[in-house]
Amino acid sequence: MNNFREPVNQLVQDGKRYVEVQLDSVKLRSIKGLSQGFSTVASLLLIFILGSVFVLALSFALVMWLGELMGSYVIAAFIVSGVLLLALVACILLRGKLFRNTFVGAFRGVLDPSQPLKENTLEGVDAALQLNQLQVDAAEEGLFEDVEQIKTLYTPKNLLNQGLQEIGNRTTHAGFSFGHFLIKKVRDFVRKK
């Protein structure tokens, strides 16, 4: 029992580490959730804008142009509608690739996790989350071991023994100091005579 307080100090350090890795876990999950949420909103907004403004403006112009070329505005309207429908379907199918990783970098900068992200993608966040979970598990195990060590070390018998040992050490130190003081006074007295 060199340092009787060491297990408590270790528990405090491990507790701090556990809180830090849990905080990183929250930050990483926030980055992932916010990125996915904003990408969904952005893709839906783009699809809505494409579905309204682009369709209205371009379809009107194309119907007019094809109608004059073909001599039938109805056939021209069906052709333009089919092309725009294909564009809309392509946007819907590609929305994951277009917007999936767009917001990861922005949220990473705002939340600033201490867990490094190798890349600004959701796959990078998932990899960081897996590494973070290993750190959380290790921190929990360290805390558990510290608590178990404290349970075995700080029994009433050990606390009494440690207290008595500390009292003995302080008494011994005080005794040596008093002894040195007396020896010095005796020397001084002998030298004067």
pTM over 0.75: no
Chain segment 5-63, per-residue pLDDT in tens: 788 888 888 888 888 888 888 888 788 778 877 887 788 788 888 778 866 887 788 88
B/e letters for 105-143, b = 16+ CB within 10 Å, e = fewer, are bebbeeeebebebeebbbebbebbbeebeebbeebeebb
